[in-house]
Structures are given as C-alpha cells and as structure tokens.
Structure 1
C-alpha cells in the first residue's frame, strides 16, 4: 500500500522543501536596504490620510456580515436548482422552508435598520 502513495508523498516533500528553502534562502542571501519609502504602506499611489488606528462604524461590519450571510445562502440555491427534478416535491418543500426562513431573517434585518447608510 505504501508503494501507491510513495510518489505523492515524495512530491509533497519536495514542495515543502522548495517552499521552506526559498523563504530561508531569501532571508539569508537577500539584500536588506530598508528606507522610509520602502517601509511605508502602499495605498494604490494615494498619499496616506489619517492613521491606521482610525475607528470605523459598526455598520460597515454589520453590512459586510449580512452580505456574506445572504451570499452564502444564495449559493445553496444553485445545487438545488440543478437537482430540482430529481428531488421532487420533497426538495421543493424543503427549499420553500429554507427561503421562508431566509426571508424572515431579511425582513428582521430590514426592520431593525441594519441596511440603512446613515
């Protein structure tokens, strides 16, 4: 059984050795000439405005989490649509319950005002 997996293990070992070796060699041999310009964060060519410790409103994070949540929920619709005919009425009812739960959550978020950009 080992003879079947040996080539895969060898390739994985070579990949690890190459990646670790590349990092170690670049640290040992690489030229180190730090300057203020090189150490400054790059912001797409724009000059820096403010500090990195600037506080953001919690609304930005809530909107981001809601986007991810509803985006992932939409991803579950794709496999269901592909298998729609094979699932029959059971799959239709299950997806109906899923969409109703999703809709209730969306209405709750909307009523709470989490989607407002004030």
Structure 2
C-alpha cells in the first residue's frame, strides 16, 4: 500500500511488532526463570564489591565533596569548548569576532567562579 495511508500502516505494523516482541520477551522470562532463588537470604543482602557489608546502612557525606565535584565537571566540560575555538582562531576571517565571543564565554565562567568564591562555597572548613 503506497501513499498517505501506507505510512500509517507501516507505523502501525512496527508498533504492533514492538508490542508483540515486548510481550513475548517478558513471557519467556517468566517461563524460563527459576521459581525460587537458590539462597533467599543472600539474594537480599547488600552487595559491596564482593565483600560482606561492614557497619550500618546509614552514612553521611559532606556536601562539599559534591560541590567540588560539580565545579570540576562544570569547568572540565567548559574547557572542552576552548579547544575548537583555539583551532578556528588561527584561520583567516575569524579574528576579532572569535576573540570577543571567547571573551564573553570566559567572562561568564569567571563570573560563576567569582560568585562561588564570594559565597564562600570554595572554602574548605
């Protein structure tokens, strides 16, 4: 079937095949899996790198670790944008415009780090 309705027929058949595959896969999983786990206590135990868990299940982590990790990821990703600029900068026709664009980009980054510094986010206390 070609034409306008042929596209919808193709889409409908593809959706039907997807739903059928989904149903068959989950039915096969239910039929082929074991009825009961071999070790019900071990199955529900906490897994820590193959070792038995030590201590309780509650641990507090300082927020400053996340803040430093966030800043690292932020500036590492932003530094990736400097490399294409450095490659294009030397080509003819990209002189002053690319310098101004990168100055705005680095200025926004500098404002972000200045804001974090002023709010004492970077102070390790």
Unaligned runs of 5+ in 2: none
| Residue 87 (structure 1) aligned with residue 90 (structure 2) | no
Q: TM-score, normalised by structure 1?
A: 0.65
CA distance in 1, matches of 2:33, 2:18: 21
- The corresponding residue for 1:21 is 24
Superposed displacement of residue 107, structure 1: 4.5
Question: Structure 1 residues 60, 29: CA separation in 2 closer, same or farther (over 3 Å shift)?
Answer: same
- The aligned length equals 117
CA distance in 2, matches of 1:80, 1:8: 43
Question: Structure 1 residues 51, 14: CA separation in 2 closer, same or farther (over 3 Å shift)?
Answer: farther
CA deviation profile, 1:83-105 (whole Å, cap 9, x unmatched):
33353311111112211332343
State the structure with more CA Rg: 2
Bigger fraction of residues in helix: 1
RCO higher in 1 or 2 (8 Å CA, sep ≥ 6)? 1
- The corresponding residue for 1:103 is 110
CA distance in 2, matches of 1:10, 1:115: 60
Question: Structure 1 residues 53, 103: CA separation in 2 closer, same or farther (over 3 Å shift)?
Answer: same
Q: TM-score, normalised by structure 2?
A: 0.62
